[in-house]
Amino acid sequence: MLQKLRDSSYLKLFLEKLGGLEAYSDNYTNILLDLVKRSGYLVIAYDRFGYLPAQIAFWFLTSLDPGRRVLISDFETCTYYLLPYLEEGLVIGFATSPYSSTLFELLQTANTVGLETHVFTPKPSDEKVQGLLSRFRNLYYIERVDELEASLTESIAVFKSFSRGLKDKAGARGPRLYKHGLEGFTPVSEELVAKYIDVLERVLAEKEVWVSSTKLLEPAGELFAQALRNIGARTVYTPLHQTPIAESLLVLYTSIEEYIVRQRLYELGRLGVRVIPLQMNTDPIEALVYFGVLALFVGGVKSY
């Protein structure tokens, strides 16, 4: 698999797949743009790897529109501890599996209490599940079966729509993120892979490697761990403050978090952990997408 990472034919196929995902994500940008322009209390909910697009949406609003009331939580927490007690608000949900019971429970609870809810999820092939979900409004099906692909498709759609809706916010940062959203992620992904290929090879050379990250990048870390599992690696995601059992640890972080991470990496090194740092030199919100791109690149190696 190490040789495949540098195979030009694999890179070409990957870029074609990514370009297809990005083009397909445009089907949902106008829907999300309308939602981001709405006022009032917003609940961003997620299940499984829907955590990545949810995190992107949350940090767009928290960073660029700090006056907006917004909360992020998983489907189960929203269903049992939040939605039953809300008198008003808008719910936006992201899922990567239509067969999760928490998806149906979230939709049912929101419907019972009368909260407007919009959920993005892959389309189920099972007719019985389709029938169960058909009773709910504002359900948007992503035509992707693979959870990594669904997560990245939703993430790119969120980035493009939220950057457009918030382009006049936060001084120069809003326009810059909007410009990068317009330019797209596929055109720069060949350069992205080339920049981090040495690190990715180090990761795949390990028999067992755990994945960690800063808190903001947690969903990207979880997606990366899943990508490694998809190709047969022994791995789990662990928070950075915990000491891994594994001898090797891949750590995702951005350049603005370097000061926070440096001391922890030193401590792990003293404990005998082989740390493989993967630092992204870009805006943290963009980094969430770019780490997702690298995860998809790694996760597709075995099937090539």
Mean pLDDT value of segment 256-278: 92
**pTM, rounded to two decimals:** 0.96
CATH of domain 21-183: 3.40.50.10490
pLDDT in tens, 154-170: 999 999 999 999 998 87
pLDDT confidence of residue 246: 82
pLDDT at 1 > cutoff 70: no
Measured CA to CA, the distance from residue 3 to residue 45 in angstroms comes to: 39
What is the rounded radius of gyration, in angstroms, for the C-alpha atoms of the chain? 19
pLDDT at 3 over 70: no
- pLDDT at residue 241, as a whole number: 87
Q: Does residue 304 register a pLDDT over 80?
A: no
In sequence order, the 6+-apart residues with CB closer than 8 A to the CB of 237 are: 210, 211, 212, 213, 218, 221, 222, 224, 225
58-70 in b/e form (b: 16+ CB < 10 A) is bbbbebbbeebeb
Please name the helix (run of DSSP H) or strand (run of DSSP E) that holds residue 164, with its range, or none: helix 147-165
Say what the pLDDT of residue 2 is: 61
- pLDDT average, residue stretch 206-222: 95
Q: Where in the chain is the domain with CATH 3.40.50.10490?
A: 21-183, 185-299
Query: What's 185-299's CATH class?
Result: alpha beta
Amino acid present at 274? R
Model confidence at 124: pLDDT above 60: yes
Write the pLDDT tens digit of every residue in 58-113: 999 999 998 889 999 999 999 999 999 998 999 999 999 999 999 999 999 999 99
- Nearest 5°: CA angle at 294, between 183 and 23? 40
